[in-house]
Every structure is written in structure tokens, then in C-alpha cells.
Amino acid sequence: MFKTIRNAWAIPDLRSKMIFTILMLIVYRLGSVIPVPGLSADAMAAFMSQDGGMGLFTLLDTFTGGAFSNATIFAMGITPYINSSIIMQLLAVAIPALERLQKEGEEGRKKINSITRYVTVVLALIQAIGLYFTLKAYGVVENPGFMSFVVIALTFTAGTAFIMWVGEQITEKGIGNGISLIIFAGIVSRLPQAAVTLYNEFLGVNLTVVSAVLLIVVLALSVAVVGFVVFMNEAERRIPVQYAKRVVGRKMYGGQSTNIPIKVAMAGVIPIIFASSIVSFPATIAQFAGGIPQTGFWHGFFELMSPGGWLYGVLYFVLIIFFTYFYTAMQFNPIEMANNIKRNGGFVPGIRPGKPTSDYIAKVLNRVVLVGALFLALIAVFPMAFSGVIPSMMLGGTSLLIVEGVALETVKQIESQMLMRHYKGFLD
């Protein structure tokens, strides 16, 4: 990876794109330390301590690189844009007009992106209003009032809109997907803090043989998990497709063999985000209402639904599997793929064209998705089991998936741009 980046840096055009991307990410990180007027940073820290180790606000703080817990202008991060994009993808299946726009190519994509931006601003404003009243209930707002409400809500909304613009600029003029790189930058910015936590846990107080051995085990386990995630992200099942030869005039077309790659982790991190939002929803609503009850039935319920509760873990695991199948079904249509293969004179060896082909693709897809769903669920639930052994040390499965996915995808984009410029050294 580092060799690829070094070779790309030697190409002036790619170097200017990489510099632009770095500058935009620096702008984003600078905005992540500018405080919002009227919010108390100390009260915000106390509020975050009530969210638990893996609550919805903790997840938001992870994606924003600490901007939420520091009460800055980028506190909401790019989450409204992600939600808007997911909503547009779901609506494209239900609304024929949006489905037609998706199939119109570049012009249709521009129109959908324009609609997504407007939906993002609306969602950001709604989220900012809800966030204001939540922070007000917990004493984070220093001087509650109408002007304070307007300033804080609009600042949160404007911060999200600006991040969305930065991400689009990176995608258009830089390297990689801008929105993904912004999330990547926020997560990676917390690595120094994680290193300090690791040092204080094992080496900062009393260095013993047991703590040293435990540190080595933790580091080895972390490397193993990273390697496993990279392997699963790159794993794919290939369905062979053969195209028959056909003669048009005096020329012969077809006759080549290809394949349909089905990635094991096709859904990416989306199912984890969906599942985390749902299992954290009861505690979030309780916080909106003024806090979790200290006694009675609801106290026991929220104890089970806390990040350390068994019910939370079971629901989290099951929902990730469900949303993996759901999101894959939205993205991958075996019937449409079988029809495209048949229309172009292709066939899967040993399988009749048409419905038998679509049934075969669906069967393979279901098996591959099951492996991918179990992989995502295990990676997401793993930090809970690990935190039971070492409470103050948490391996973020969601963060790990995002960081590695974005890093691999960005390097692939750099490589493809190098190939387009006929860089010979890359193939050596």
C-alpha cells in the first residue's frame, strides 16, 4: 500500500489530487475543534458518560472523531447524509420515478444527488432540533432560550451541510470517496487517545509480568482481527459465465468466459449501523424523556438493553444478520442479473438460462450472504466479549470495518488511476 502511494506521489496530477484531499481533511479536523456557542463542554462530557460504552451517541462520537463529545460545530458529523442516502436507495425501489432516474446514467445520478442534498439538510435540521432539546434536558445548554435554540440548531445543521460539501469536493477533485474518507479521518483521529488508554491500562501504573503478557496478547489479538477483517473484505464467490459465439456479418462475437463476483461482505458496515441504531433506540428515547428510571420494570428493561446486557447482545447479533440479508436484497437482484446474462447470449455452465439461472444465483447468494452476515455480527459483538475481560479496552468492530474498507478502496482507486496513466512500474 505504501509503495503504491509513493509511486502515485511521483505523478504530478495524482500528487495534486492527494494534496487537495489532505487539505480538505485538515479543514474538516479544524472544524471538529471549534466549539458551538452556548454549550458547556464539561456538561457534554458528563452527558456522554451516561451513554454507555456502545450507545448511539457514542457511535456518533466515534464517527465524528470526538467532535460530538467536545460540543463542536461538526458534532452531528455526516450521519444525516448517510441516512439520506440510505433513504433514497430504499425509495428508489418503491418509487418508479426514482428508479427511472437511477437508470438514466450520469444525468439521473446528478438529479438523485441533488435530492439527497436537500433531504440531508432537512434531516440535519430535525436531528439538530432533537439534539438541542436533549442537551437542554441534561444541562448542556448554558442559557436556554429562543435565540440559543436558533443559534445551536442552525450551527449543527450548517456544520453537517459544510461537511457534505467537503466530502463532495474530495470525491470530485481529490482521491477516493469523500464521505467515506471523512468518516475514516474521524475514526483515525482517535487512535492517539486509544494508544494512551492502552498504555495507562497495562504500563502506566504498575508494570508486571502479567500486564506485559496481557498487552502482548491484546496486540496479537488485534493484529489477528485486522488480518481476518481484511481477508473477509476481499473474499468473494465467483459464478462462472460463458458467452456463446455468434456471427454478425463477417465478424464473430462472444465466446469468452467471465464470472460474476459476489463479495462476502457485500453489505459493508450498513447493517451494523442499522442494528446499532435500533438496539440503542430505547435508551435514546429514555434520554430524550429525561433519563433512565432507577427502579421498577423499566429499570430492569434498560439494564438488559444496556451495552453490557445479554438481551442487547442477542438482539444486536440477530438484527445485523437480518439487515445484511435485507440490504443485500435491495442491492442485488438475481432475476435481473439472470435476464441480463440471457439477453447477452450468456449462460452459467450446467445451468439452463432463465429461471434456473436466477434460482442458482439466489441460492449461491444466500449462502454467501449468510457467511458475510455471521462475519459482521461476530465482528460487531466481539468488543462486548472483549470488554468483559478488559473493561477499559474496547476494540471497535464497526470502526475497524470502516477504516479497513475505506483504506482498501482508496488504494484501489489510486491503483486504477495509475493504470489509466500507463504507469509501467506498478505492474513490475
Q: 117-153: per-residue pLDDT in tens?
A: 999 999 999 989 888 888 888 788 888 888 889 999 9
The stretch 52-60 carries a mean pLDDT of 62
CA-CA-CA-CA torsion sign (213, 217, 222, 226): positive
User: Would you state the pLDDT for residue 391?
Assistant: 46
User: Would you state the pLDDT for residue 247?
Assistant: 61
User: Would you state the pLDDT for residue 158?
Assistant: 93
User: Would you state the pLDDT for residue 426?
Assistant: 47
Dmax over CA atoms of the chain, in Å, equals 84
Q: What is the DSSP letter of 39?
A: B
Chain-centre distance of CA 171, in angstroms?
A: 16
Least confident of 43-57, 69-83, 164-178, 356-370: 43-57
Least confident of 39-43, 235-239, 299-303: 299-303
Instruction: Name which of 136, 89, 151, 150 is nearest 116 in CA terms.
Output: 89
Q: At CA 69, angle to CA 64 and CA 72, rounded to 5?
A: 70
What span, in angstroms and rounded, lies between the C-alpha atoms of 352 and 343?
13
Residue identified by cell 492517539 is: 192
Residue 258 confidence (pLDDT) above 90: no
The stretch 354-363 carries a mean pLDDT of 88
Q: How far is CA 7 from CA 381, 407, 411, 426, in A?
A: 39, 17, 12, 8
Residues in Cβ contact with 268 at an 8 Å cutoff, skipping those fewer than 6 apart: 401, 405
The stretch 215-236 carries a mean pLDDT of 81
User: Would you state the pLDDT for residue 165?
Assistant: 92
pLDDT digits 0-9 by tens, 382-415: 776 665 555 444 446 677 777 877 887 888 888 7
**Higher-confidence residue: 320 or 288?**
320
User: Would you state the pLDDT for residue 178?
Assistant: 85
pTM of the model: 0.76
Q: Is 135 exposed, middle or buried (0-12, 13-18, 19+ CB in 10 A)?
A: buried
User: Would you state the pLDDT for residue 291?
Assistant: 57
User: Would you state the pLDDT for residue 140?
Assistant: 83
User: Would you state the pLDDT for residue 267?
Assistant: 79
User: Would you state the pLDDT for residue 417?
Assistant: 76
